[in-house]
Each structure stands twice: as structure tokens, then as C-alpha cells.
Amino acid sequence: MPAPISPVLARVVGPGLPLAFRACDGSSVEPPGAVATIEVVDRRALNHLATAPGELGLARAYVSGALDLHGDVFETLMLLSGGTVGALGWAERLEVLRSLGPGVLRPVPPPPEEVRPGPWWGLRHSLGRDSRAISHHYDVSNRFYEWLLGPTMAYTCAVYPHPEASLEEAQTEKVDLVCRKLGLRPGQRLLDVGCGWGTMVRHAAEHYGVSVVGVTLSREQAEWGQRRLVEAGLDDRAEIRHQDYRNVAESGFDAISSIGLTEHIGARNLAGYARFLTSRLRPRGRLLNHCITRPTTTGPVAHRRGFIERYVFPDGELEGIGTIVTALQDAGLEVRHEENLREHYARTCAAWGSNLEDHWDEAVAEVGEGRARVWRLYLAGSRLGFVQRRIELHQVLAVRTDAGEAGMPLRAEFARLAQPAELANPPAPAGAARAALAAEVD
């Protein structure tokens, strides 16, 4: 006779946590002051948890609907991270598995939202395979992303200029900070690789008067972003292409922004990525690389064969900031500024998570409950990763220094000249504030 499920799960998770458990066999564990409840909807959840332990097993159980989380998902994951999951000895694990019945070790199919890139996708990080991987994540639904990301449609770490800033203010500050670090001025040429829906492209063209080429491997992003450029009357000096960055033929750009692309490059392609972008810069041209990193440069590549790899970013790879800086330096660039925005990304994930909850029913109707659950789990888990410093977000500013000429001020300052209240409507490029800033960073 199988043991009651809830007490077994409570034992595995660990004592003393304010978590309640309910299960389809009628069992429950209700500790005083419980802030969330883990519910086993059907026994398939046990198969997922037993045959793919850790985050992948939990993800399969939750995304399939065999397991449910009642309460704040972020708080639940934080509590689970402080428990004893995975700390049981082999004898205890065997005892737990036996107590749940003989069928618990029988693998069951994962939910259809899981992908396993195989040889039929092509070589890892080849042009064709990268296109498939990007399409899996980004070609979901522009409407879904509008609900999730908000009006700016910026899908990377925001930069909060003050504690009370909204997500929209923070995303505008992020792209403006990149513009300031790049020292953009009217008439210059900017290449934005991995441009997404074109937030950086539009901002730089509208507020800094530069000519911009943005490239993305997502067809839906490119079409959406190009429409926005036409609607804003910016298509005379900005364009968004459905194109791999490696196929950009133009060179001599004054600046290149790479915001959230490096995670998709792959370790073995990082050196080539840095060399290619360097070759597209003019002498004294600047590169701003903005990406998620892992906190060390040693150990296994993050995300391989786990939840992120199978459900969110196929073929995604994270590197340590030292590895990225090394690649930039070896490509001939001089690193001039670096900062870690880890806490900002935790806040960004929290804001996206709130947007998803506000539009939950609409999101489920648009992309299906399984994919919506993927995103709920992904955003909460990513937020936890940034809070606990299992992942970071770094911006690196580098310059193509030929013959020792960097064209940088003795000490660069990137503070905004406008006050936070003016953030949503920064002055036009010809304004006195922009002129002063341009003079400072040239």
C-alpha cells in the first residue's frame, strides 16, 4: 500500500518550512502559518519528480499541470531553495521511493512545451540551429510579449533610476544609459545586434539622431519592430532586419550595442563574436555588451540539460564576466567601463511577473496554459537566481583603440542630465543638455 503522498513530500522538502502540502490521495500536511501550498494534482507529478529530480522534475510536474503551486511562486521557490531537497542520503531516497509505490520510477512523457534540440537541428550554434532556438523563445506571440513586457517592449534587464521608478521608466533609462555610454551624437551610425522588438533602435534614432541598423533572428520581432519605426516616422534613418548578426555586411559603425545577445552565442563562438563586432567598428568606435553572466568562470556551463535549456532558451550558455572581457580584449578592444546590474534584473523579473499575473487569463488564452506556466516558473526562478547571486547581469563598455587612440575622456561620467521625472520624455538630440553630454563623452 503506497504511503500518503503529502507527508512524504513534507519529509523530502524538510521540516520547519511554512509550506503546506495536499495530494490527490486525500492526504495533507498543514503546518501553522503556511504561506503557500504545493498540491499533487495527480500521481504523474511523482513520476516527474522521481525520474528527473531537481528543477527539471519540478518543471515537468508543474508545466504539465500534474503539480500546482498555490501562493506566490517566487516565495515558494525561495522556501524550497532553503529546504533539504536533494540532501537526502541514498538510503533515505530509496526508502522514500519505495514508500510511494512500485510505479513511481516509471518515466512518463514530458509536457509538449519541452524541447530537446537534437542532430536534426544542425550543429550547435550554427546559423540554422540558432535560428530555430531563437524562434522557439521569441516567436511565441507579440501580443503575449506586449502584456508581459509593457509599452517599451524591452526584454532585458531594466535600470531603475530611483527606487520608486516604474518598469517603463527603468527600461527607458536602460536604453538611454547605453546611448550615453556609447557617446552617441547626431549623424553617427549605430549597429544594434540582437535588437529584439527595436526598443534601442527607436530610442537611439529618435532621441540621439543616429542612423541605426538593428538585426534579430526572430521574424516576428523584426516585423513588429519595423512597423513601429514606420509608425514613428523613423524609418528614414533606422531599420530592423530579420538577419543573423554574422551576416551584417556593413562596417565602419561608430557604435555597436549588444543587449541580451551574448547568452545565445555559445562559449566556442565567443571569440569569433568579439572579433566580428570589432571588425564592424571604425577606429575609436565603441561597443556596449550587456548580458546575463554566471558568477564564476569555472565549472559546467549554466543551464545545460535543465529547465532553462529544455523550456526557455535552447542552446543558451552563460559565461563569467572575466571570460567575456577576455574575449573582447583578445579581439583588440580596450575595456573602459564595467558594472554589475544584478539587483536591477531581480526587480525587472518581479515586474514582468506582476504583468503576467495581471494578464494571466488572457495569456493562457493566447499561448496555452502550459506555456504560461513555463513563463511563471521562469520569471520567478530567474528572479531568485539574481537575488541569490547564482546569475548576474553585466554591462561592459569597450572601444576599438588603434595606435593608442581611444577617443575617451580622462574619466567618463554617464549620469543622466535630466531629472528622473523627465525620464519618459528626454530632450531632443539638438537640446542643450544633449549637446553638453556629447561634448563631455567625446
DSSP for 103-123, written as a single string: GGGS--PPPTT-----GGG-S
Give SS3 for 144: helix
Clarify whether residues 93 and 183 are in a common domain. no
Domain end (from 88, 105, 122): 105
Domain end (from 105, 139, 161): 105
Whether 111 is covered by a domain: the verdict is no
Clarify whether residues 400 and 326 are in a common domain. yes
The whole domain housing 224 covers 130-441
Clarify whether residues 268 and 401 are in a common domain. yes
**How many domains does one find in the chain?**
2
Whether 346 is covered by a domain: the verdict is yes
Contact 39, 17 (CB under 8 A): no
The three cell numbers locating residue 164: 520608486
Clarify whether residues 61 and 205 are in a common domain. no
Clarify whether residues 311 and 384 are in a common domain. yes
**pLDDT reported for residue 305:** 62
**pLDDT reported for residue 238:** 98
Clarify whether residues 212 and 336 are in a common domain. yes
Give SS3 for 73: helix
Residue in the block written with cell 531516497? 93
Domain end (from 105, 122, 144): 105
Whether 150 is covered by a domain: the verdict is yes
Clarify whether residues 80 and 185 are in a common domain. no
**pLDDT reported for residue 186:** 96
Taking the chain (442 residues) in consecutive chunks of 10 residues, what is each chunk's mean pLDDT? 91 90 96 96 93 87 97 95 68 81 89 79 74 71 93 95 95 96 96 96 97 94 95 97 95 97 89 97 97 87 70 84 97 96 97 98 96 96 96 97 85 58 37 37 39
Clarify whether residues 148 and 182 are in a common domain. yes
**pLDDT reported for residue 419:** 36
Whether 110 is covered by a domain: the verdict is no
| Closest C-alpha among 163, 348, 336 to residue 260 | 348
Clarify whether residues 96 and 149 are in a common domain. no
DSSP codes, 22-51: EETTS-EE--TT--EEEEE-STHHHHHHHH
Whether 277 is covered by a domain: the verdict is yes
Whether 122 is covered by a domain: the verdict is no
Clarify whether residues 310 and 385 are in a common domain. yes
Whether 413 is covered by a domain: the verdict is yes
**pLDDT reported for residue 87:** 60
**pLDDT reported for residue 82:** 81
Clarify whether residues 227 and 295 are in a common domain. yes
**pLDDT reported for residue 439:** 40
| CA dist., res. 90 & res. 95, Å (int) | 9
Element (H, E) at 70: strand 67-70
Clarify whether residues 88 and 177 are in a common domain. no
**Beta-bridge partner residues of 37:** 20, 70
**pLDDT reported for residue 194:** 95
Whether 414 is covered by a domain: the verdict is yes
Give SS3 for 405: strand
**pLDDT reported for residue 351:** 98
**Beta-bridge partner residues of 293:** 392
